[in-house]
Amino acid sequence: MKKHNFSAGPSVLNREVIENTAKAVLDINGSGLSLMEISHRGKDFQAIMDEAVALFKELLGIPEGYQVLFLGGGASLQFCMVPYNILNKKAAYLETGVWAKKALKEAKLFGEVNVVASSADKNFNYIPKGFTIPTDVDYFHITTNNTIYGTEIHEDYNSPVPLVADMSSDIFSRPVDVSKYALIYGGAQKNLGPAGVTFVVVREDILGKVERTIPTMMNYKTHIDEGSMFNTPPCLPIYTCLETLRWLKRLGGVKKMYEMNKAKAAILYNEIDRNSLFVGTAEKDSRSLMNICFVMKDEYKELEEEFQKYASSKGMVGLKGHRSVGGFRASTYNALPAESVQALVDCMKEFENMHKK
């Protein structure tokens, strides 16, 4: 039976990307050596790193003055590295979910944190609007996509202070005006590659301004100066990122991917809104293109476990919603084919026909 992988992360990867990575694990460039055993200082891996950085810049349209880094530690380490490097006195954060809360918690270790707006009052089911970004802070931090709650920021804010964004789960899913951001970071395991590598896009002119001493490994300048190779980088995940970037370019780039993502999301959201059994959890103008969350309507709550089992029997994987929301979460990342979304919709229609009152 064909599997349809809706897991929130680690998540679906393009099949060709997986196969090419598997080949490199056995033999990289006809060297007779595995990708996992070659030196990161050798020419084979240096070429991988150089191409990955170049494609990252090309596909996102990154201007001059920015550096692309591939680091370890996940986005969770960036929650700390960001304020370590650029929070001098005070920062502003937009609180839109669990990961935004974790980020601002770390920032409080380094200075004052101003929460400019929060959607906690409605269990983070919307993106706040109408807030004012303060001008007396070192930076403004946002989480562009909230995987647990299925909300997403669909614009690039005009910020009077350096704008920092955690784009772990929607990087490369839509065009981004990188020039509006001072720093973008994220874990790769949603839209870019397997777990184990973290990307950072940083504008160099924001660095070197804090008064504190930064430990060597926590300093962005260290990794810029050493081309992400101050210590041994996560070589295998970086190679898979490169294969993903190659695939994305062949597909037509980020603009083409955005069109495909909007079409996929529309198929599923339309069914959620039509189906008499289900209801979406995120407010419509805040709905994510990457994580589509829905629950059973109140009068059908007792069918939740039954639908989970039914969907599993039809090859749906990773649909269970996060415990803080419940219900179901279909993660429709870049590599998820439209046929998987249609298969889920068909499954929902079949289940509705079985249980209409």
How far apart CA 104 and CA 116 sit, in angstroms, is 11
Question: Final residue of a domain: which of 251, 267, 287?
Answer: 251
Q: Are residues 165 and 99 in the same domain?
A: yes
What is the tens place of the pLDDT at every residue in 49-85?
999 999 999 999 999 999 999 999 999 999 999 999 9
Q: Are residues 243 and 309 in the same domain?
A: no
Q: What is the CATH number of the domain that holds 159?
A: 3.40.640.10
Given 44, 89, 90, 166, which residue is catalytic? 166
The pLDDT score that the predictor gives to residue 98 is: 97
Q: Are residues 54 and 198 in the same domain?
A: yes
Instruction: Report yes or no on whether pTM surpasses 0.75.
Output: yes
Question: Final residue of a domain: which of 191, 220, 251?
Answer: 251
Q: Are residues 66 and 147 in the same domain?
A: yes
190 classed as catalytic: yes
pLDDT above 70 (res 145): yes
pLDDT above 70 (res 111): yes
247 classed as catalytic: no
In the predicted model, what is the mean pLDDT of the chain? Answer: 97
What is the tens place of the pLDDT at every residue in 173-194?
999 999 999 999 999 999 999 9
User: 204-216 in b/e burial notation, b at 16+ Cβ within 10 A?
Assistant: eebbeebeeebee
166 classed as catalytic: yes
Q: Are residues 57 and 113 in the same domain?
A: yes
Q: Are residues 194 and 164 in the same domain?
A: yes
Q: Which domain holds residue 219?
A: 15-251
The pLDDT score that the predictor gives to residue 356 is: 78
The residue count for the chain: 357
Q: Kindly state whether residue 2 falls inside one of the protein's structural domains.
A: no
Given 138, 170, 190, 264, which residue is catalytic? 190
What is the tens place of the pLDDT at every residue in 266-278?
999 999 999 999 9
pLDDT-based confidence at residue 1 (cuts at 50, 70, 90): confident
* Pick from 82, 80, 89: nearest CA to 207: 82
The pLDDT score that the predictor gives to residue 357 is: 67
How far apart CA 7 and CA 11 sit, in angstroms, is 5
Domain count, the chain: 2
Q: Are residues 49 and 63 in the same domain?
A: yes
The pLDDT score that the predictor gives to residue 268 is: 98
Given 99, 138, 170, 264, which residue is catalytic? 99
User: Among all chains, which residue has been given the structure tokens 């909230």?
Assistant: 146
pLDDT above 80 (res 25): yes
